[in-house]
């Protein structure tokens, strides 16, 4: 597995990481813990060094899973987790609201360290920008954690460009985590140019469109009520049928390259910038191996141009999130 540096931060990670959220949260019932530990360790064996989790995934159980799975190889991997939500008092899934007050950050980092079985978090993201707390205060709180040796690098998830600039002026931002894929290209307008200017890495989540770009879903796919995609406008049967044209584009390129649609979608992302490290998630070993195979696929300038020209003619149907969730992004 090739490695990449996230911007000018010197934080080196595998070109493809592993997003672990779906093992415990959002995509139906939590998966078997022992099976997921085996999968995470299989990823390590295959050269993955970059693992993504968050306090809110579960809540807490995903960090615990990752901590147990990676404890034997802690010195060989990069663990990213996130803060910024106020959990429900009863510990049930979901959250009560945003909370990035410095005193809250100082408190919750201790729980994350304990669950992850580590004395330092490699990359600590603000999960969503809290409009009630100036970003300078958030950056200052993480700066103090870095000075205390509890965190190595500061990250932001789904921020707007002014937030990125203001935070970076207080504590250099190593990475921004945004949704980015062939069916969500909004970061190209402002975020990616800003990251390039400031020397910040990009970690695309949902690089396979929450599974849609794998070609394994269509309008006949039934999503359970405990699968959060069932609440997303982009996953209605009508939207999936209309958006199938994008999958057909990937399928046509894949046929020529002896690859799969998912591999082409990931290879396309890797070709965009050398400081981009996507974190596709999976709960299956065969999908993990398929995803990692994307790192070996080279797309020529002509092929990239062909994909871009064809994709530019495709009108993606459906919002990516309901309005109340989308309102928490790009602040």
* Residue 269 near residue 247, CB atoms below 8 Å: no
Query: What CATH number does residue 181 fall under?
Result: 3.20.20.100
Q: Residue 277: which pLDDT band, with cuts at 50, 70 and 90?
A: very high
pLDDT of residue 166: 98
* Residue 125 near residue 105, CB atoms below 8 Å: no
Q: Average pLDDT of 169-189?
A: 97
pLDDT of residue 225: 87
* Residue 134 near residue 140, CB atoms below 8 Å: no
Predicted TM-score of the model (pTM): 0.97
Q: How many domains does the chain have?
A: 1
* Residue tagged 């813990």 (tokens): 33
For every residue of 149-209, DSSP letters joined together read TSEEEEEEES--HHHHHHHHHHS-EEEEEEE-BTTB-GGGTTHHHHHHHHTBEEEEESTTG
What percent of the chain has pLDDT above 90? 94
Q: Average pLDDT of 261-278?
A: 98
Q: 304 lies in a domain?
A: yes
Choice among 57, 124, 125, 180 that is catalytic: 57
Burial of 45: CB neighbours in 10 Å, binned 0-12, 13-18, 19+: exposed
Residue 236 has a CB neighbour count (10 Å cut-off) of 15
pLDDT tens, 121-163? 999 999 999 999 999 999 999 999 999 999 999 999 999 999 9
> Buried (b) or exposed (e) across 247-278, using 16+ Cβ within 10 A?
bebbeebbeeeebbbbbbbbbbbbbbeebbbb
pLDDT tens, 279-288? 999 999 999 9
pLDDT of residue 95: 83
* Residue 18 near residue 43, CB atoms below 8 Å: yes
Q: 141 lies in a domain?
A: yes
Rounded distance between C-alpha atoms, residue 128 and residue 76, angstroms: 28
Is 125 considered catalytic here? Answer: no
Report H helices in the chain. 33-45, 61-70, 102-115, 135-147, 161-170, 191-198, 237-257, 261-272, 285-292, 301-312, 323-326
pLDDT of residue 196: 98
Q: 331 lies in a domain?
A: no
* Residue tagged 């799969």 (tokens): 260
pLDDT tens, 77-128? 999 999 999 998 888 888 889 999 999 999 999 999 999 999 999 999 999 9
pLDDT of residue 90: 83
Rounded distance between C-alpha atoms, residue 217 and residue 213, angstroms: 8
Range of the domain at 29: 3-326
């Amino acid at each position: 597995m090739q490695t990449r540096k996230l911007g000018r931060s010197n934080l080196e990670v595998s070109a493809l990481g592993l997003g672990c959220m779906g093992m415990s949260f959002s995509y139906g019932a939590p998966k078997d813990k022992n099976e997921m530990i085996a999968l995470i360790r299989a990823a390590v064996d295959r050269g993955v060094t970059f693992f993504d989790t968050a306090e809110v995934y579960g809540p807490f159980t995903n960090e615990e899973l990752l901590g147990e799975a990676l404890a034997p190889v802690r010195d060989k991997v990069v663990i990213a987790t996130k803060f910024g939500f106020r959990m429900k008092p009863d510990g049930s899934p979901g959250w009560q609201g945003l909370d990035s007050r410095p005193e809250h950050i100082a408190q919750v980092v201790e729980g994350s360290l304990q669950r992850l079985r580590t004395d330092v978090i490699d990359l600590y993201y603000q999960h969503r920008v809290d409009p009630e707390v100036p970003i300078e205060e958030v950056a200052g709180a993480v700066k103090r954690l870095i000075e205390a040796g509890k965190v190595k690098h500061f990250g932001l998830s789904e921020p707007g460009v002014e937030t990125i600039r203001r935070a970076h002026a207080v504590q250099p931002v190593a990475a921004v985590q945004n949704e980015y894929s062939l069916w969500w290209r909004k970061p190209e307008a402002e975020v990616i140019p800003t990251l390039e200017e400031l020397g910040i890495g990009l970690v695309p989540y949902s690089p396979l469109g929450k599974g849609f770009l794998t070609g394994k879903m269509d309008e006949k796919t039934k999503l359970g009520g405990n699968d959060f995609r069932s609440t997303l406008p982009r996953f209605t049967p009508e939207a999936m049928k209309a958006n199938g044209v994008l999958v057909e584009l990937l399928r046509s390129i894949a046929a020529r390259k002896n690859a799969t649609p998912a591999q082409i979608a990931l290879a396309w992302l890797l070709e965009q910038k050398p400081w981009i490290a996507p974190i596709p998630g999976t709960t299956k070993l065969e999908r993990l191996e398929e995803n990692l195979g994307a790192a070996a696929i080279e797309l020529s300038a002509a092929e990239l141009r062909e994909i871009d020209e064809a994709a530019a003619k495709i009108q993606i149907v459906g919002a990516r999130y309901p309005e109340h969730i989308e309102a928490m992004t790009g602040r």
